[in-house]
Amino acid sequence: METDTADAAGKNGVIFDIQRFSLHDGPGIRTLVFMKGCPLRCLWCSNPESQSRNPQVLFYEEKCIGCGACYEVCPRRGSLLEDWPVPREDCTGCGCCVEVCFAGARELSGRVVSVREVLDVVLRDRTFYEQSEGGVTVGGGEPLLQYEFTAGLLRACRENGLHTAVETCGFAGKNALETVLQHTDLLLFDLKHMDTEVHKRYTGAGNERILENARFASKTVRKMVIRMPLIPGVNSDETNIEALAGFIKNELEGVERVDILPYHTMGASKITRLGGEYPLGDLEPLTQERIDRTTGILKSRGLKVTVGG
């Protein structure tokens, strides 16, 4: 039976997607909730529409028939003319242009939701969670950026008997992390580079706060998995992998396993639809040999490793 907690959670959140029946990001069959907004700007980001907290328009050029209806209804068309048809800075995300585009060339990413609304969607698949020992995973974007909403949702899920997981980049205040961890069964914690200068160059921020939060979380949460996107020429060198293995072994407690997430270019087309340019250009995917060498280093340190998530 649904509880009152969802109604009492108060805070609304901004999400950009809910995916049901996922077999990733935690055990069993899961519903994934994607929060909008992230403090990092990783160059390889596969969900660039998750970075801004505000709703944004994605433009599918191949579907556009050039009717001009979107431009006619846009309340900001004066200041957006230079960017048209892909609105950027001055777009309020009102969605008027999306509503009149019958060609389906415009999509609004991001909407405000209550805990109750999301919980109602999550609970539709309760039977599948029970049969598969699955549950709900909140990711993004960065769920700790909207930690009150995230904690409220996780709490409501737990009160309904569901397993809860969170995927975080770890760049958050201690209070946000502590609050969310109270309602989290499994923490998927991303580590991207062990050298803070390199980390800053590729993600926009140093790694000190992230490593500190990883230390704290490993002592606090029931179960923790480290995830590392493996990006050729960025963090796939042996020095970095050795440093990662050393950090996990020597400074974290009870990490269950390490998930290696090989580089892919799924974010490239989305950046174009947001009016930007993919910063990693034609970076080639990693060879299987490089992936095997990475997992070999981690396994040689006694860590359990999977490729994928």
Q: Is position 94 an interface residue for ligand SF4 (rule: CB under 6 A)? A: yes
- Give the binding range for ligand SF4 (CB under 6 A) out of 89-97, 150-158, 176-184, 298-306: 89-97
CB of 182 to ligand SF4, least distance (A): 22
Q: Is position 87 an interface residue for ligand SF4 (rule: CB under 6 A)? A: yes
CB of 171 to ligand SF4, least distance (A): 7
- Using CA atoms, how far residue 89 sits from 83, 86, 106, 115, 179, in Å, is 9, 10, 17, 29, 33
Report the residue number, 27 or 39, with the smaller CB distance to ligand SF4: 39
CB 105 within 8 A of CB 64: yes
CB of 179 to ligand SF4, least distance (A): 19
Q: Is position 283 an interface residue for ligand SF4 (rule: CB under 6 A)? A: no
- Using CA atoms, how far residue 263 sits from 75, 196, 204, 229, 279, in Å, is 39, 20, 19, 6, 14
Q: Is position 69 an interface residue for ligand SF4 (rule: CB under 6 A)? A: yes
Given 62, 66, 250, 281, the residue binding ligand SF4 (CB under 6 A): 66
Report the residue number, 106 or 158, with the smaller CB distance to ligand SF4: 106
Number of residues in contact with ligand SF4, rule: CB under 6 A? 39
Q: Report the b/e string of 39-69 with b at 16+ CB within 10 A.
A: bbebebbebbbbbbbebbbbbeeeeeeeeeb
Q: Is position 172 an interface residue for ligand SF4 (rule: CB under 6 A)? A: no
Report the residue number, 73 or 283, with the smaller CB distance to ligand SF4: 73
Binding string, residues 135-154; x marks residues near ligand SF4 by CB under 6 A: -----xxx------------
CB of 98 to ligand SF4, least distance (A): 7
Q: What does the chain come to in residues?
A: 309
Q: Is position 96 an interface residue for ligand SF4 (rule: CB under 6 A)? A: yes
**How far apart (Å, rounded) are the C-alpha atoms in residues 163 and 192?**
26
Given 106, 163, 193, 270, the residue binding ligand SF4 (CB under 6 A): 106
Nearest to 230 by CA among 141, 309, 140: 309
Let me know the angle formed at the C-alpha of 155 by 154 and 156, rounded to the nearest 5 degrees: 90
CB of 195 to ligand SF4, least distance (A): 17
**How far apart (Å, rounded) are the C-alpha atoms in residues 109 and 35?**
11
Render 114-159 in DSSP notation, one character per residue: -HHHHHHHHHTTHHHHHHHT-EEEEESS-GGGGHHHHHHHHHHHHH
Where helices occur in 160-286 by DSSP H, the ranges are: 174-181, 196-203, 208-220, 238-251, 266-273
Q: Is position 169 an interface residue for ligand SF4 (rule: CB under 6 A)? A: yes
Q: Which residues bind ligand SF4 (CB under 6 A)?
A: 38, 40-42, 45, 47, 50-51, 57, 64-70, 73-76, 80, 85, 87, 91-97, 100-101, 103, 105-106, 140-142, 169
